[in-house]
Amino acid sequence: MAKKDRFVQVYQQGMIHCFEIWVDKETGVNYIYHSRGESGGLTPLLDKDGKPVISSIDEFEK
């Protein structure tokens, strides 16, 4: 049985200062990843009320 990836990249901006948005296909939670040179970090993407941004998981294959 083929292994399915849990996360899918839905946005990318930049090359040296890189911003990416990844979605967890099981929960729909969006994460933002930022890297600059050899360092980087990942955190949940939050809305204006401080709650995680959640995408519909129906649009992603399971």
pTM score: 0.84
Q: Which residues, at least 6 apart from 33, have a Cβ–Cβ distance to it below 8 Å?
A: 18, 19, 20, 21, 22, 40, 41, 42
CA distance 44 to 56: 16
pLDDT of residue 33: 97
pLDDT of residue 34: 96
Number of Cβ within a 10 Å radius of residue 54: 15
2-29: pLDDT as tens digits: 578 999 999 999 988 999 999 999 999 9
